[in-house]
Structure 1
């Protein structure tokens, strides 16, 4: 079932419930009011008859009863155009329960147990109202006790016409309720169509995206607006943009990785071909061949390791925590010294940032190892400066050409002067990904007096208050 149909059914159900409730309450109110008016007439007749008896100081007689219709006003008072059945039926009930018709149409009303009890022992003014059927006609009967062993008086009026009117009213209410339900269903379908139209367009775009194996899609046909659907469309558009960017980045990484892996693999394949004739080689040629194989294997392993690091650098698997950058820098400096023998001077404040400790350590380690690689025999230590979440590494190496500065953080990019050195061109790309994952940026430039100054920052909101003041 479509969402539009569900909306229509929901509107129809709500309309039906409201119409039925309103109709039932209206019918109940009308019925109660009509019957209350009839009961008022019956009580008025009873009071008038009892008053006539008291004035005459005589037992209730047919003569007194016959004069009762002239003693009170009311809607059921006989008049021009009234049917005889609408006249009041007057009946006296003796103490023993016997009934005597004393006025009105020739109809004998049955006496119920409640009427007998009122006639025999009821207090003056006690009443009982009931509806009885006599000869196929319905009457509303009021029995009133006269007290002091005087029996009771019954006054009744035919209500078939009233029931017919109320039945017609009930049928009209049912017809109106059905019409309201149909109108509510139609209005619900119309409104649902307007509401779901943009959702349908959004669903169509989502289906196109899921069916597009190449991941090429546009978002120009997404619905806009400031309501919930518009916000959903905006969020969905942003999500699609991120998916497209991630897909493009993935394709670039795959192409770049394939390009970089092709060189060592080609060299290894060539050396493997030569190894088939190893018996024909001189000892010196064999040694050079084995050294070449070992070097290419090492480069290949290093490239694979950096590809793994690059894939993990932008991930969110690592839990963020408070990281003291000075402690990380000193730990990385000791590791670089063990590996390369280069001294690293750390000048750091007490900056504490919220971030991923392994990612930050990897980024700082790549900067220091890069500096040690390009300045292996430098007399001056490598300098690390940390201030309020900004990390800068300075060396006295050959520096970076101005033409290469915009691309030093690109994946697999290597300047012409660095192609003879070991490396894959992924170290600084990892630094950039770590910085961006922490809301920061990267920078690179010449160092006054020669060398390079390169580093990264984290977002200011990640620097904990009170840190970075030393």
Structure 2
């Protein structure tokens, strides 16, 4: 059974239970209201009999009968006197005798109180009231419930029709409501099936409102967006790697083929080729590592924490000075606390320092500053041409002046990726007096106070 059908059945069952409960309650109230006049009339008649003695006379045939008002012995009511010796007297024209049992005899012997009872006598449904009369007798007064039963039968049929109609209407409304309520689930299912069939992660579900199903659709759209972004990053990694590795692999293969051939090489040529192979392998290793880092950063997000920007910069400067002794680093670091992921911020600062060292002449000074949530790196190299400034943070972009230098073209792209992930900003500009000034600013990111 489908979920929609289960909702409709549940709604119909709930309405059915409610209607049945209400119908039973209405039936009982109507039964009480219809039987009350009968009980009241019997109680009144019993009071009348108790206030005056019952006459007894003999018929010409020698039978002893009760002398009561004629109207009470007609079809509208019955009366019967029962003595403790089990003898019974009825009016002359009353052809129905009420059954006498131990309960009646107990009332006749003053051993039990008066009571009400329903009886079926000769196919007639009777309401009977039995009460004590004198020291050794009981009187039974009865009235037929035929009209009451007919009315109750009509009421019961009417309530049954109402209940059946209510259940049917509830089932139909349940189907309509479940169809409307489960429309987002249907769209979600169809979207999931289309994604499974077409592998198109750009599929989205249109939603409105703020209920649980809308939240489910929103979560599904968010999941699809995350999957689409992860797939895009994976494809970008493959495309970037295939594009950037093609040239060094070709060169590497050529050099290895020359070294593996039997051809005699000039003096020093073999050593030069081997040096080129080692250098190309190093560049490829760096390129692959940076490509993987870019892809990993796009797909994974760490929880931000309080970061001392000045301490991260100090660690990066110390490591850069150790790895690149050909240049000097001077730093002016003020205490600055930002919200972020320490490892990725430190990687971005290191890439800025590496880029500055690459463009600095031997013995040049690189100035590093941290203040007010900003990292400033300024070198004294040849600088970046005006037309190249808008593109220096693009993947694999290399200015004309840099195409003969080692590097993957991914270092500054990683810096911008880190900045974007933190809601920060990175810019490159020409510095006064030559060189380049790069600023990684976290001012736009959520700020926290330094302790």
The TM-score range, normalised by the shorter chain, is: 0.7 to 0.9
Q: Which residue of 1 aligns with 2:343?
A: 358
Shift of 1:330: 1.0
Give the secondary-structure state (helix, strand or coil) at the position aligned to 2:412. Answer: helix
After TM superposition, list the pairs within 5 Å mapping 1:68-467 onto structure 2: 84-85=74-75, 87-96=76-85, 98-102=87-91, 105-122=94-111, 126-146=113-133, 149-197=135-183, 199-213=185-199, 215=200, 217=202, 219=204, 222-228=205-211, 233=217, 236-237=220-221, 240-241=224-225, 243-277=227-261, 280-316=264-300, 318-341=302-325, 342-387=327-372, 389-458=373-442, 462-464=446-448, 466-467=449-450
CA contact under 8 A between 2:27 and 2:156: conserved in structure 1?
Answer: yes
- d(CA) in 1 for partners of 2:2 and 2:27? 37
Distance 1:317-1:225 versus aligned 2 partners, 3 A rule: closer
**Number of residues of Structure 1 aligned to a counterpart in Structure 2:** 442
Q: Deviations over 1:212-249 (max 9, x none)?
A: 23x36455xx4443353556556655654554454444
Structure 1 stretches lacking a partner, 5+ long = 54-58, 71-76, 79-83
Shift of 1:114: 2.9
Q: Considering only aligned residues, what root-mean-square deviation do their CA atoms show, in Å?
A: 3.0
The 10-residue stretch of structure 1 (242-251 or 36-45) with the greater mean CA deviation from structure 2: 242-251
Give the secondary-structure state (helix, strand or coil) at the position aligned to 1:404. Answer: helix
- d(CA) in 1 for partners of 2:284 and 2:420? 27
CA contact under 8 A between 1:355 and 1:462: conserved in structure 2?
Answer: no
Give the secondary-structure state (helix, strand or coil) at the position aligned to 2:128. Answer: strand
Shift of 1:340: 0.6
Q: Deviations over 1:85-144 (max 9, x none)?
A: 4x2111223344544325773222123333332332357xx4211112222332111112
Give the secondary-structure state (helix, strand or coil) at the position aligned to 2:275. Answer: helix
Distance 1:223-1:333 versus aligned 2 partners, 3 A rule: closer
Q: Which residue of 2 aligns with 1:73?
A: none
- d(CA) in 2 for partners of 1:354 and 1:99? 105
Distance 1:393-1:140 versus aligned 2 partners, 3 A rule: same
- d(CA) in 2 for partners of 1:100 and 1:441? 114
Shift of 1:49: 1.7
1:30 aligns with 2:17: no
Q: Which residue of 2 aligns with 1:42?
A: 42
Shift of 1:317: 5.7
Structure 2 stretches lacking a partner, 5+ long = 58-64
CA contact under 8 A between 1:351 and 1:463: conserved in structure 2?
Answer: no
The 10-residue stretch of structure 1 (409-418 or 94-103) with the greater mean CA deviation from structure 2: 94-103
When normalised by structure 2's length, the TM-score is 0.87
When normalised by structure 1's length, the TM-score is 0.84
